[in-house]
Amino acid sequence: MLTFELLEKHGEHEQIVYCHDKDCGLKAIIAVHNTTLGPALGGTRMWPYKSEEDALVDVLRLSKGMTYKASAAGLNLGGGKAVIIGDPKKDKTEALFRTFGAYVNSLNGKYITAEDVGTTVHDMAYVFMETPYVTGIPVSFGGSGDPSPFTAHGVLMGIKASVKEKLKSDSLKGVRVAVQGLGNVGHHLVEYLVKEGAQVTVADIDKDKVKSVCDKFGLSAVDPEQIVTSECDVFAPCALGAGINDQTISKLKCKIVAGGANNQLAEHRHGDALLEMGVLYAPDYVINAGGLMNVFVELEGYSRDRAFEKTTQVYDNLMQVYRISREENIATHRAADRLAEKRIKSIANLRQHHHGRMARPFSTLKEMTSRQK
Ligand code: NAD
């Protein structure tokens, strides 16, 4: 497909920037999807894409996803994303990331980047040498560091909201939660759940992680293949995406699906099927927005306490989604999209009537430019 055909097919993006440098081998694409709510924020993915078309489609899809995520989270941020075409194991150099940083800088804060799949905090430190418009930089540079405790805390709030909605309870005491995946997000979530008195079962394909978590919290584990089908109140996917698919969906024995993983539904129709089955699904991009909230606080001048406080918002955000789902009789993943679209539309209207005044982060970006390098 030709580039303009792809752009037309994948939504109304505001701006696409192709970044190229022969000397350092940079081939990257930045996509700014929508800046109605604020600057477009989204990480930089480095991946050995098979074709330029694959890279473009990925960045168009991911940047649009960020617009929805930020909007549903109630943040004054738009959606953007960048992809660098290359092998993260072989092709990383200082010059590559600094050149990419110069391209990010040329957008003057319209796009703010961060680490993502294939890039690290260390790479972002190089980007930061060329532009202030980068988040998730090391703590020593005034950044917010590892987002996963905040993501997990937001997921905990999301599980509480879901338990309130489905089981009509304000407490997690005795609630049976099956956590799939004990990585960065999963192990923090387990800790929070245990503190709340939940009855937690875990699984991971990494036996060392299972042993360490079970020993630490006195929990029992099940085989990774069995966690999806375990009898529980809440199934919390915290591993890879597409866990709710044709093979697993009919075997679910939970009342709620609420976890931190991205892209939990293999296809949209699986969300509709969960509604029909009477299983409450917490839409992934709403429940796992705690990490994005943490990065947002970095833009305002970082405070760990404020970031934790902000993640409690996930509870209300999900309650709004559940209300829309009930009132409009639609599946929760569709209700989340409606919530996000409605907010963007209402703020766009507000702008029209108030001479295009920008949301606050554009002024807080000035603070970013004054951070120590
Ligand atoms: P991670 O790589 O640290 O952890 C993933 C864990 O899942 C690993 O321990 C892995 O062994 C395990 N796993 C993989 N396949 C499995 C299987 N079939 N069964 C059981 N366990 C399996 O990743 P993470 O940072 O904890 O992220 C987890 C998920 O949350 C991902 O989908 C990620 O995109 C999403 N997410 C993470 C953050 C964050 O702040 N880290 C923010 C938003 C979304």
What pLDDT digit, counting tens, does each position of 8-31 carry?
Answer: 988 799 999 999 999 999 999 999
Same domain, 91 and 158: no
Cα 148 to ligand 1 centre (Å)? 10
Same domain, 192 and 253: yes
Same domain, 314 and 170: yes
Q: Which residues span the domain enclosing 39?
A: 3-64+78-141
Question: What number of other Cβ atoms are within 10 A of residue 349's Cβ?
Answer: 11
Same domain, 164 and 104: no
Residue 193 and residue 172 in contact, taking contact as beta carbons nearer than 8 Å: yes
Which tens digits make up the pLDDT trace of 330-340?
A: 999 999 999 99
Q: Is 10 part of a structural domain of the chain?
A: yes
Amino acid at 174: G
Q: Which parts of the chain have pLDDT scores under 70?
A: 355-373
Predicted local confidence at residue 149, as pLDDT: 95
Same domain, 137 and 227: no
Predicted local confidence at residue 187, as pLDDT: 97
CATH of the domain at 46: 3.40.50.10860
Q: Does 92 qualify as catalytic in the annotation? A: no
Q: Is 365 part of a structural domain of the chain?
A: no
The order of strands in the sheet holding 199-203 is 220-221, 199-203, 176-180, 234-237, 256-257, 280-281
- Domain stops at, among 119, 141, 163: 141
Predicted local confidence at residue 273, as pLDDT: 98
Exposure letters 46-75 (e unless 16+ CB within 10 A, then b) = bbebeeeeebbbbbbebbbbbbbbbbbbbb
Question: Which 3-state string (H, E, C) describes 292-325?
Answer: HHHHHHHHHCCCHHHHHHHHCHHHHHHHHHHHHH
- Per DSSP, the three-state class of 51 is coil
Q: Name beta bridge partners: 281.
A: 257
Same domain, 323 and 245: yes
Same domain, 34 and 59: yes
Which residue in 32, 11, 3 sits closest to 106, CA to CA?
32
Same domain, 102 and 194: no
Greatest Cα pair distance, the chain, in angstroms, is 61
Same domain, 334 and 249: yes
Residue 80 and residue 111 in contact, taking contact as beta carbons nearer than 8 Å: yes
Cα 268 to ligand 1 centre (Å)? 21
Same domain, 135 and 184: no
Domain count, the chain: 2
Same domain, 164 and 311: yes
**Shortest-distance atom of ligand 1 to CA 148:** 40
Same domain, 192 and 294: yes
**Shortest-distance atom of ligand 1 to CA 241:** 32
CATH of the domain at 174: 3.40.50.720
Q: Is 369 part of a structural domain of the chain?
A: no
